[in-house]
Amino acid sequence: MLIVGAGPAGLTAALALAKFGIEHVLVEKYPGTAHSPRAHIVNPRTVEIMRHLGVQEEIEAVSSPHERLRHHVWYTTLNQPEIARKEAWGTSPHRKADYLAASPCPSINCPQTRFEPVLVEALRDAGSDVQFQRELLSMEREGDHWVSTILNREDGTTLTVRSRYVIGADGARTKVLGFAGLDIEGPSGLFHAANIWFKADLSRYLAHRPGVLTWNMHPGPQPPLALGTFICMNPFDEFVLNRFYDPEVEDLSEMTEEQAIGHIERAVGEPVDDIEILGISGWKVNAQVAPEYARDGVFCMGDAVHRHPPTNGLGLNMSVADAYNLAWKLALVLRDEAGAELLDTYNSERQPIGATGVDRAIKSLHQATAIQEAVGLHEGLSEEEGWEALASLEDPGPLGDERRAALRAALDKNENRFNALGLEVGYHYDEGALVHDETPYPPFEGDPVLDFQTTTRPGARVPHARLIRNGEQISTLDLVDGLEFALLVGLDAEHWFEAAEKVSAELGVQVVAHRIGGDILDPYWEWSDAREVGHAGAVLVRPDRHVTWRSVDRPTDAAAELSRVMRTVLHL
Ligand code: FDA
């Protein structure tokens, strides 16, 4: 098994495969992992995946804690009174309960520069073969294998790797996608952005309103956000100043440290002591998704197949989820415990999620301008007119009322950029490694981007419910172990225990029954409320914690039914 690329997708794939005991080699063309912070919002579903992979504590230890993610602040310059603020990522009193009920894990702020080394260390501990300075040059199909040529960038030699499967986690400049004959659709380079990564103590401007993103709305003829958005990488001494720029006018490679400091100080509004520039890098806003993620044993993931702006913080998170979706399927196929057709469900499950994510990120990007418009700032205004427009926010008369109402409405409209719980945790698969049951699914009430509605409908991530096992609080998500399928059953469960044992012996894949309400307590009735099946029914959960099937009641022959379902899902 060859994995190309040591970004969030490739590292997650490797760690999951290592956990499942699958031998692999991961090649990365650079000497180390990401050299600039890039993506940083790690949403609850990704923290859950890190928990399942055994590195939640390590990731949290290098992240800003949840409470420090709290505020989005809109400002003219950092040293001026703010225009608006909004609580994000489930930190507000109005959304906190939704997030707590949905997941055992909070979102955190973990720049790629810290996220990736944690995974590399875990891979080293797991004995995984991770090779830096190794670049994939080409891939040829030979029979049912791929022969990949890898350049050793340390000594210039090449070697070939023969593997049945290849994971293309090689980012937006992917070669693997093309070698597999796959393509990506959608526009590229809609905007160009520059990241100025720096260290400086900005606590006096931000410690009293901690958050990750601080948006500039300085009046003037320049386009909105021209002075830049401060992205907090470590409270409050490490940041990225992110600005849109025009590559026809500005050449980033020529930006001097002095110019970079000038940009930072303009956005702060005054001189700042001891700014240390750590790096300057550019990136493009794309709106692209591959119509097909996999072909002939090549599985592409992450930025290789979906590219979009960082709005909603989806880049790293969707990449990690792609990898986690594929890893258990590959592991079962490579252990000869599932038919190769199981791998087709990687595309049918993840491609629609990628397409939705790209669409959401682009919509959110456009939605951002609603805030400037609401306060009367639009392109072409002089600086003076812009200040007048902002001053009207404090007008006690009808103009002020109108502006304040418009601002409030625009902030509310942006709720689905900042508290998109449905998008982060509530995505589900309609088609794939699952068997639908006969019952109608509950209608979705609310907004699918904002709201999370628990369900055990096949394809959904199993609802999180707090349970007590051996005196310790766990989540339903913790009941799954390794490559096992977990069968969550109620008090009337003997038939399911027998069925699970029989099917495990028959197929080799372990199905482990867990009796909730008996050996495992459901003290807050959360599983009772969420399970949507009766005491004699069952919910079957896959290794990636998505529901694969459920039985509302006791079937006539539980073992035969469970065997049918497992054989269907695993293509046996
Ligand atoms: P990723 O690009 O992280 O990793 C791919 C890896 O493959 C790289 O390490 C690369 O060197 C390696 N590779 C490529 N070709 C290879 C070959 N032929 N052989 C061997 N190795 C090869 N997102 C966000 O949400 N907020 C942000 O601010 C930013 N900013 C940002 C800045 C810059 C400069 C970039 C490049 C990207 C961002 N992103 C971002 C996007 C975010 O970083 C991205 O969504 C994730 O890193 C995607 O993870 P992947 O693992 O898919 O690719």
Within 10 A of 383 (CB to CB), how many other CB atoms are there? 12
Are 206 and 71 within 8 A, CB to CB? no
Of all protein residues, whose CA lies closest to atom 45 belonging to ligand 1?
Answer: 315
- Answer yes or no: is 418 within a domain: no
Look at ligand 1, atom 44, and give the residue with the nearest C-alpha.
315
Do 468 and 554 lie in a common domain?
yes
Residue 46 falls within a domain, yes or no? yes
Does one domain contain both 349 and 486? no
Kindly report the protein residue whose alpha carbon is nearest to atom 23 of ligand 1: 39
Amino acid, res. 330: L
Do 297 and 383 belong together in one domain? no
The pLDDT value given to residue 78: 96
**Residue 253 one-letter amino acid:** S
* Mutation to probe ligand 1, out of 316, 325, 358, 360 (largest number of atoms < 8 A from CB): 316
- How many angstroms does the Cα of residue 171 sit away from the middle of ligand 1? 5
Per-residue tokens: 412: 């509310």
pLDDT tens digits in sequence order for the chain, 572 residues long: 999 999 999 999 999 999 999 999 999 999 999 999 999 999 999 999 999 999 999 999 999 989 999 999 999 999 999 999 999 999 999 999 999 999 999 999 999 999 999 999 999 999 999 999 999 999 999 999 999 999 999 999 999 999 999 999 999 999 999 999 999 999 999 989 999 999 999 999 999 999 999 999 888 877 666 789 999 999 999 999 999 888 999 999 999 999 999 999 999 999 999 999 999 999 999 999 999 999 999 999 999 999 999 999 999 999 999 999 999 999 999 999 999 999 999 999 999 999 999 999 999 988 888 898 899 988 788 999 999 999 999 999 999 999 999 999 999 999 999 999 999 999 999 999 999 988 887 788 899 999 999 999 999 999 999 999 999 999 999 999 999 999 999 998 999 999 999 999 999 999 999 999 988 999 999 999 999 999 999 999 999 999 999 999 999 999 999 999 999 999 99
One domain, residues 345 and 450: no
Pick the last residue of a domain from 323, 343, 363. 363
Residue 307 Cα: closest atom of ligand 1 = 45
Kindly state whether residues 40 and 121 are assigned to the same domain: yes
* 147 CA distance to ligand 1 middle (Å): 24
Do 120 and 11 fall within a single domain? yes
Closest among 28, 179, 230 to 117, alpha carbons compared? 28
DSSP 441: P
- Please tell me the distance between residue 6's alpha carbon and the centre of ligand 1 in angstroms: 9
Three-state secondary structure of 64-131: ECHHHHEEEEEECCCCCCCCEEEECCCCCCCCHHHHHHHCCCCCEECCHHHHHHHHHHHHHHCCCEEE
- How far CA 205 is from CA of 75, 242, 402, 466, 501, in Å, comes to 11, 18, 29, 39, 61
Q: Are residues 526 and 557 in the same domain?
A: yes
C-alpha 113 – ligand 1 centre gap (Å)? 11
Q: Where is 295: in which H helix or E strand?
A: strand 294-295
**Phi, psi dihedrals of residue 384, rounded to the nearest 5°:** -60, -45
User: Is 549 in a helix, a strand, or coil?
Assistant: strand
Please indicate, yes or no, whether residues 242 and 138 belong to a single structural domain of this protein: no
On whether both 14 and 121 belong to a single domain, the answer is yes
Total Cβ atoms within 10 A of residue 84:
19
* Cα of 316 from ligand 1 centre, angstroms: 9
Are residues 203 and 281 located together in one domain of the fold? yes
Q: Is residue 127 part of a domain?
A: yes
DSSP 347-372: HHHHHHHHHHHHHHHHHHHHHTHHHH
Q: Is 421 part of a structural domain of the chain?
A: no
**Where a domain ends, among 263, 285, 307?**
285
Q: How many CB atoms lie within 10 A of CB 6?
A: 28
Structural domain span for residue 407: 369-413
CA 148 – CA 150 distance, rounded (Å): 6
Q: Which residues contact 397 (CB under 8 A, 6 or more apart)?
A: none
Tell me, what CATH number does 328's domain have?
3.50.50.60
Domain boundary among 350, 383, 413: 413
Residue with CA at minimum distance from ligand 1 atom 6: 5
Planar angle of CA 426, 98, 60, nearest 5 degrees: 80
Instruction: Characterise 117 by phi-psi region: left (phi > 0), alpha (psi -120 to 50), beta (else).
Output: alpha
Distance from the alpha carbon of residue 65 to the mean position of ligand 1, in angstroms: 24
C-alpha 303 – ligand 1 centre gap (Å): 7
Question: Which pLDDT score is estimated for 439?
Answer: 84
Mutate to test the pocket of ligand 1, among 28, 29, 38, 133 (most ligand atoms within 8 A of CB): 38
Compute the distance between CA of residue 367 and CA of residue 356 in angstroms, rounded to an integer. Answer: 16
How many other β-carbons are positioned within 10 Å of the β-carbon of residue 282? Answer: 15
CA distance 280 to 505: 57
Q: Classify residue 178: in a domain, yes or no.
A: yes
Can you read off the two tokens belonging to residue 490? 């109620």
Three-state secondary structure of 368-420: CHHHHHHCCCCCCCCHHHHHHHHHHHHCCCHHHHHHHHHHHHHHHHCHHHHCC
Domain assignment present for residue 419? The answer is no
If one residue of 303, 305, 322 were mutated to test the ligand 1 pocket, choosing by the most ligand atoms within 8 A of its CB, it would be 303
Is residue 87 included in any domain, yes or no?
yes
| Start-to-end CA span in the chain (Å) | 22
ipTM surpassing 0.95: yes
Specify which residues 141 forms β-bridges with.
Answer: 146
Are residues 542 and 428 in contact, defined by beta-carbon separation less than 8 angstroms? no
As for ligand 1, residues whose beta carbon falls within 6 Å of it are: 4-10, 27-30, 38-39, 112, 135-136, 169-171, 175, 195, 281, 283, 302-304, 310, 313, 315-316, 319
**423 assigned to some structural domain:** no
Note whether 182 and 79 are within 8 A (CB).
no
Give the residue whose CA is nearest to atom 16 of ligand 1.
Answer: 170
The number of domains in the chain is 4
The neighbouring-strand residues paired with 27 are 4, 131
CATH code of the domain in which 462 resides: 3.40.30.120
Find all residues with CB under 8 Å of 50, minimum gap 6, and list them. Answer: 42, 56, 59
Distance (Å) from CA 174 to ligand 1 centroid: 10
Q: Are residues 23 and 160 in the same domain?
A: yes
Ligand 1, residue 30: give the atom nearest the CA: 11
Looking at the structure, do residues 298 and 358 belong to the same domain, yes or no?
yes
Whether residue 267 contacts residue 342, with contact meaning beta carbons closer than 8 Å, is answered with no
